[in-house]
Structure 1
Amino acid sequence: MHDLRKQALLESGKTVSRKARSKETTPPTSRNISRGNSAVPSPRGSRVGSRQGSDDEGDFSDDTEWSTNSIDALVAPGELDGDGAGDAWIADLEDRINAITDRKRSSTEGREQQMSAFIAALTRHFAREELRPKVEELLPALLKCVKSGQSEREIILALKALAMILITEPSETIYDAVEGPIKTTINDSEHPAAKVAAIHALSIATFYGGASLDETQEVMDFYLDIASTDGAVIDEADNGNIVVAALEEWGFLATQLDDVEDLTEAAMDTFVDQLESSDVGVQIAAGDNIALLYEKSYTEAESDDEPEDADEEDEGGNRMVKRYTVYRQTHQLQQILERLAKASSKRISKKDRKHLHLEFNDILGTIEKPTRGPRYSTALDIEGRELGSRMKINIAGGGKMTIDKWWKLHRLNGLKRLLQSGFMVHYEFNQTVFDSLPVIVEDD
């Protein structure tokens, strides 16, 4: 960010070559976006240990730190404490939907309360069957709150509610209805926090709402413009939260694309530039996207690929072929990453410094060897093999999820930004969420 930089000194698979498509890509989740084949999702019983439906997500934990804006701060405490016994939440959800769609006698505070409880219910329960017949009624009511909300909180909650509807009931057509109002909020809202919420909501609408390949790339270009101008293009110059949101969602959408070669040069210029920000969140979001782009520049070797010196093996032992050069000034980039991996400035808090070191050691490792994912360890096991990716996410009921690719980390972070404490409920019961991150859970 211009002023901030003065203070301081992104399986979808693998990127697919133009010659042919790789055998392994991410699962289809949006129309007209060309993807390849990812591992077929395992049956639900084999992914997350079955458990009684519970509102207590205390069993979910992980050993990484993420910077995510929680919706919990917007939801009244009583609305997160429980939805009543048994299936009482279903009747309560129906009441909330009816209240949202009937605006005749509603007040700003009342709309906020109803949307807050609606979001809490959709977060804590997989409610596709209950929601499906009500979507057509809900959309215009929520869009009216987005376009003419009387408070910052009302606008943010309406955007969050739209995103929760789409993760619960994906659509082939909703993107066309919501894209305009959400973009208008990003460009024109007087509330910076609403712009941040709209950036995140637009990404979910693009991913799960039926955006075409061209529309997806247009949204990514929009995010890149926001990041490259430090937010100035939407009248939020040097707003770190805005830039972080744009960078995060650019990476989330990039995981959908098979081939990002044509997007890489402009994106890398922006991301490398943002490594000089004084905002740690901006630096990390830019670095994570850089690692994703290096990862996507390699694809699995095909039968007619001649062996090359640049070939690598991934953790599964597959030969990976470099398809193109991500950044021509790699040595300069490595120097920047090494500096960030060892940053010791007193202006950075101890917690941020630790986070910075952890993230940029990972990112640097991927730049040096693009087939290595986050938290890759070169330490040897008793059989003399490298330990590999050590990012293990503990799953409620036992077992661990291994995040061994940057695309998986971007998907996980994007889903957790949206679902927060409801991530495990949706990962267990919502096929859309599992298809977005089809990671087999290992037993302890």
Structure 2
Amino acid sequence: MHDLRRQALESSKTVSRKARSRVASGANSKSNSALNSPAQSRAASRNPSRHGSDDEDYLSDGTAWSTNSIDDILNSDDADVPADAWKAELHNRVEQIVERKRSSTEGRAESLNAYAHILKARFAKDDIEGRIGELLPSILRSIKSETSERETVTALRALSVTMVTLDSEDIYDSVADLLRRTVSNSESIQVKISAIHALGTAAFFGGTSEEELEDTMVFFLEIVESDGLSIDAHDEGSVVIAALEEWGLLATALDDLEEVTEAAMEAFVEQLESADAGVQTASGEAIALLYEKSYTPLENDEEASSDHDSDSDEPRGTEKMVKRYNVYRRQDQLLHTLDALANASSRRISKKDRKTLHSNFADIRNSVEKPTRGPKYSTAIDQETGRVYGGGRMKVKINRSCEVRIDKWWKLQRLNALRRVLQAGFTHHFDENEAVSRCLPFSMSER
């Protein structure tokens, strides 16, 4: 499975004395956003969010966790302090996480949050690898005990970024059972969501067999099919979105999805009728991925048949693709539904959601009709060549010489998953973390 993922998949700044004093005083202070009660609000009553903020973590009530002191360590231009000050802070946080006897619930949550924040901003594999034997049991204990929602959520997020950092082949077996129980049994919706994302990350980055990966996909699909009822979260749109997103991530690691396509399509098409725009969009993206995966490159010993995708407007040099199987037996009806979503105008839908639906479902419909076309495919004509521009309009710039072209749905699924875990640290990890860079191929800039 590790090989399968491989195929399918700094300069530090210094810190001022003032910043250090804030860090020293902040390490022992309580969080500014302690929870008063578990968040149980339904997805329909809050604005669905496809992805977290790129620079802040949020509690389920929308309160930001303060990370200003750590950001001072990571980003200060003051040359008064050694460049590896963040390593000392990371070491302190690791010690606080491992030493539980003298810690409080809020103290552990603060340490886990700070630890995760540093790991997102810096690639620290060498700094934590030797401590994982102590770190992992302590993080898992915070998840298992579920003393508070905040501690559990921070532990789950810390676990996710740890797995992406280490890219270990043996973490999955240590965490999978606990994560499944947490998804199923927690009384907190936010904990369920974070555990779903952590389980998906573990299955993709934690070293698992193809059979175990497919079993995890079945678990996520049951959540979608039951509208969350299978894990006691009925009609919680945010839970269904999380399951759809992680199902999509794991699907990108499989070469052949033919056997799972029929059941998945039935569930995803049904979710297009959801009242939650986030659920509709996540379902649509999974549908587009399934259509894309039904086509594979024409082999050297094959001859193009009538099933060959031979659009006359495809850019020259595009790889010849062959349709291998039918994805959905009622495609005309599906296209009608996608058309309606791409042109949704109901006053019951917020202006923001209408804009999201219009933009996303225009692309999704395009890919269902022409599965070789990925997200943001441009049908505009190049005046010089007379052909369409094609894919590649969506790009993520990593540095001056490297950018990632998101011209396939499988790339978009992976990009979104990595951003959920790494947030603003994605580009830094892409530069230094092989586990991240091998997930998304890149092209060298011409300039």
The normalised TM-score by structure 2 is 0.84
- Check the 8 A contact 2:403/2:442 in 1, yes or no: no
Tell me which amino acid in the other structure corresponds to 1:419.
L
Partner of 2:387: 385
Higher RCO (CA < 8 A, seq sep 6+)? 1
Q: Which has the larger radius of gyration?
A: 2
- Check the 8 A contact 2:400/2:445 in 1, yes or no: no
In the alignment, is residue 139 of structure 1 matched against residue 136 of structure 2? Answer: yes
Structure 1 residues 53, 361: CA separation in 2 closer, same or farther (over 3 Å shift)?
farther
Give the match's secondary structure for 1:121: helix
Structure 1 residues 320, 208: CA separation in 2 closer, same or farther (over 3 Å shift)?
same
Structure 1 residues 342, 141: CA separation in 2 closer, same or farther (over 3 Å shift)?
same
Partner of 2:93: 96
C-alpha deviation, 1:54, in angstroms: 6.3
C-alpha deviation, 1:338, in angstroms: 0.3
- Check the 8 A contact 2:309/2:320 in 1, yes or no: yes
Partner of 1:203: 200
Deviations 1:185-209 (A, max 9, x none): 1001111000000000000011111
In the alignment, the residues of structure 1 paired with residue 69 and residue 176 of structure 2 have an alpha-carbon distance, to the nearest angstrom, of: 29
In the alignment, the residues of structure 1 paired with residue 303 and residue 401 of structure 2 have an alpha-carbon distance, to the nearest angstrom, of: 43
Deviations 1:7-30 (A, max 9, x none): xxxxxxxxxxxxxxxxxxxxxxx4
- Check the 8 A contact 1:244/1:282 in 2, yes or no: yes
Deviations 1:295-316 (A, max 9, x none): 0001111133232122125754
Partner of 2:342: 341
In the alignment, is residue 67 of structure 1 matched against residue 70 of structure 2? Answer: no
C-alpha deviation, 1:441, in angstroms: 4.2
C-alpha deviation, 1:354, in angstroms: 0.8
Deviations 1:162-181 (A, max 9, x none): 11111100111111110111
**Aligned counterpart for 1:436 among listed residues 428, 434, 439:** 439
**Same amino acid, percent of matched pairs:** 47
C-alpha deviation, 1:52, in angstroms: 4.3
Structure 1 residues 37, 156: CA separation in 2 closer, same or farther (over 3 Å shift)?
closer
Partner of 2:352: 351
In the alignment, the residues of structure 2 paired with residue 238 and residue 286 of structure 1 have an alpha-carbon distance, to the nearest angstrom, of: 15
Tell me which amino acid in the other structure corresponds to 1:364.
R
Give the match's secondary structure for 1:379: strand
1:1-400 → structure 2 map (5 Å cutoff)? 30-31=1-2, 34=4, 37=7, 52-53=11-12, 67-70=50-53, 72-74=57-59, 75-83=65-73, 85=81, 86-313=83-310, 316-381=317-382, 382-389=384-391, 390-397=393-400, 400=403
Give the match's secondary structure for 1:198: helix
The normalised TM-score by structure 1 is 0.85
In the alignment, the residues of structure 2 paired with residue 399 and residue 132 of structure 1 have an alpha-carbon distance, to the nearest angstrom, of: 28
Give RMSD over aligned pairs.
2.0
In the alignment, the residues of structure 1 paired with residue 414 and residue 50 of structure 2 have an alpha-carbon distance, to the nearest angstrom, of: 14
In the alignment, the residues of structure 1 paired with residue 49 and residue 187 of structure 2 have an alpha-carbon distance, to the nearest angstrom, of: 27
- Check the 8 A contact 2:12/2:84 in 1, yes or no: no
In the alignment, the residues of structure 2 paired with residue 161 and residue 79 of structure 1 have an alpha-carbon distance, to the nearest angstrom, of: 18
Structure 1 stretches lacking a partner, 5+ long: 1-29, 42-50, 56-64
In the alignment, the residues of structure 2 paired with residue 277 and residue 421 of structure 1 have an alpha-carbon distance, to the nearest angstrom, of: 31
Tell me which amino acid in the other structure corresponds to 2:380.
A
Deviations 1:393-426 (A, max 9, x none): 2344476432111110111011011110111110
Structure 1 residues 224, 412: CA separation in 2 closer, same or farther (over 3 Å shift)?
same
Give the match's secondary structure for 2:139: helix
Which deviates more from structure 2 when the two are superposed, residues 384-393 or residues 187-196?
A: 384-393
- Check the 8 A contact 1:400/1:443 in 2, yes or no: no
Partner of 1:403: 406
Structure 1 residues 52, 171: CA separation in 2 closer, same or farther (over 3 Å shift)?
closer
In the alignment, the residues of structure 1 paired with residue 87 and residue 361 of structure 2 have an alpha-carbon distance, to the nearest angstrom, of: 45
C-alpha deviation, 1:287, in angstroms: 0.3
Structure 2 stretches lacking a partner, 5+ long: 15-47, 60-64, 75-80
